[in-house]
Amino acid sequence: MQPFLQNIKQKFQSKFQSKLHNFKAKLNRFFRKSIVDFILATLITFSVGLTLIGLSQPNAFPLTGRIETIQQFITAIFAIELGLRWIAASYKPRFFRNYWLDLIAILPLLQVFGIPSIVQLLRLLRALRLFSLIIHYTNMLPLNLKRRTPEYFLIFELLFLTVLFGSMIMLGFERGNNSGIESLEESLWYSIYSLFSGEPIVSPIKSLGGRIMTVGLMLMHMTLFVVFTGTVSAFMVEKLRNENTLMELDQLSDHTIICGWNRQAEIIVREYKASGKNKDIPVVVIAFVDNEHTIIDPDLRSIVRFLNDDFTKVTVLEKAGVRRANTCIILSDKSHGRSEQDADARTILAALTAEKLNPNVYTCAELINREYASHLALGNVNAYVVSQEHSAFLLAQVALNHGLMEVFGELLSYQGGNHFYRIPLKLEWIGRSFLDLFIHLKQVHNAILIAVDQGNGGSCVNPNDYTFKEDDQIILIAQHDIHL
């Protein structure tokens, strides 16, 4: 009998867990809808407005009872909403971390148990939720518009809440005690003047609560002054830096452009500087970066210019001087939550645009999926790298041939040792064999000839019998650049 009951209990628990999981999924989908955010924003605005009206009127105001009834109804809706969010939350501590202010804002529901009416002020905390919803939807703005949106909203949020709380608290404590503060309008102007001037502007405050709030307004004056000054200074410095950068970009030629920024970009810049012939070539990076000084080695800043914009735009590539550039490198850009397909699409668009603007620029692109490589070939893009695929080839070679990693590490980096070099072939070697030049390079320059880059676009790696032709170039391994 007992096993039978346990079996029924397990089936019931399993069915309950399944239904609970489906219910949570439905709740999460419901709360992600834009209409829900719009309704919440409307209710918050309505609630804050009613709070201001209710607290600013005397107790004998005839509509006070109706206003409080409506407020309690709206607060009950928010309590139900928070309860459903708690049920839908997969990690409860995160729920309390995200919504603790909203939980405090529903405490006025407890007024039925005799809690003082001053707790109605807590409803004003919902204004923070309103600002959070607005900031969330600013993510739909273009990247160049939303970059400093959170800072601007932070300043406005601090101003709004400080004036709001200051006005209501001053009115509550000083009405009847101070002839200078008898209405909401007077307390509002008192809060604004005190906040911006840093000192009270009416007769001495009589109540203890009013004095504490006045000190708070004066402290917020200093805080907002620092925040506002810092934000404006950062904006002006960035604007001046961008203007100076654009002036410098107009003077560049035969430079290198890097589109996008990821972990490989700094390695590329470092290799450019480590190489002999390219160490002084300016590098223009087109990418959205918050602070270039924190993402690049200080030793590399002298040759790098940042252009904070979208590298898929024609105007941006022209600003970077793509018509005068020697090389354009497009990196796979998966920032801002882009998928691999979106990253490859942006790479292809930028590469084809660069080739169209300047057919003579040497364009190199990084792809994630090889299936899109045909688009680059059709657009006459000079070279592309399928990053994940080539990493797999390298891992396979290292696993099959032990010790190769040290060899690859030396050959693929200009930091020291031997490197790959591609040099033009002199006329005296045209018509001679690959073996003749191989022996000459080893004996005279201690270099190893490994391949021929043919003038028709093909290549031969370690050919058995090859005679050099006009326009051929050779690829070799040496410790330094060689002049035949």
Residue 329's pLDDT is 92
In this structure, what DSSP letter does residue 343 have?
H
* Phi and psi angles of residue 450, each rounded to the nearest 5 degrees, phi first: -120, -25
DSSP 173-189: HHTTT-TT--SHHHHHH
Which tokens hold the place of 259? Answer: 């589109």
What is the C-alpha to C-alpha distance for residues 422 and 476, in angstroms, rounded to an integer?
Answer: 7
For Cα atoms 430, 436, 438, give the angle at the middle one, nearest 5 degrees: 105
What is the C-alpha to C-alpha distance for residues 232 and 243, in angstroms, rounded to an integer?
Answer: 16
Q: Which residues contact 274 (CB under 8 A, 6 or more apart)?
A: 413, 414, 415
What is the C-alpha to C-alpha distance for residues 416 and 412, in angstroms, rounded to an integer?
Answer: 10
Which tokens hold the place of 470? Answer: 């006009």
Q: Which amino acid is at 460?
A: C
pLDDT average per 10 residues of sequence, the chain (484 residues): 64 76 84 85 84 67 74 87 88 85 83 66 78 68 58 75 80 75 79 76 72 80 77 69 60 86 81 71 82 63 80 89 90 82 90 92 90 86 84 84 82 80 87 89 90 82 87 87 78
Residue 122's pLDDT is 78
What is the C-alpha to C-alpha distance for residues 269 and 301, in angstroms, rounded to an integer?
Answer: 10
Q: Is 250 helix (H, G, I), strand (E, B) or coil?
A: coil
* Phi and psi angles of residue 455, each rounded to the nearest 5 degrees, phi first: -65, -25
Residue 61's pLDDT is 58
Residues comprising the chain, all counted: 484
What is the C-alpha to C-alpha distance for residues 201 and 481, in angstroms, rounded to an integer?
Answer: 76
Provide the edge-to-edge strand list for the sheet that holds 473-478: 419-424, 473-478, 448-453, 459-461
- Where do the structural domains in the chain lie, given as residue ranges? 1-27, 33-140, 164-249, 252-390, 418-484
Provide CATH code, domain 252-390.
3.40.50.720
> What fold does the segment set 33-140 form as a domain?
Four Helix Bundle (Hemerythrin (Met), subunit A) (1.20.120)
Residue 354's pLDDT is 92
What is the C-alpha to C-alpha distance for residues 224 and 196, in angstroms, rounded to an integer?
Answer: 9
Residue 242's pLDDT is 59
Residue 294's pLDDT is 54
Q: Is the dihedral of CA 4, 5, 8, 13 positive or negative?
A: negative
CA 36, chain centre distance (Å): 26
**Which is nearest to 257 in space by CA: 268, 243, 241?**
268
Residue 303's pLDDT is 77
Residue 59's pLDDT is 56
Residue 353's pLDDT is 92
* Phi and psi angles of residue 460, each rounded to the nearest 5 degrees, phi first: -130, 125
CATH 3.30.70.1450 fits 418-484, yes or no: yes
Residue 330's pLDDT is 92
CATH class of 164-249: mainly alpha
**33-140 and 252-390 in the same fold:** no
| Contact criterion met (CB below 8 Å) for 354 and 330 | yes
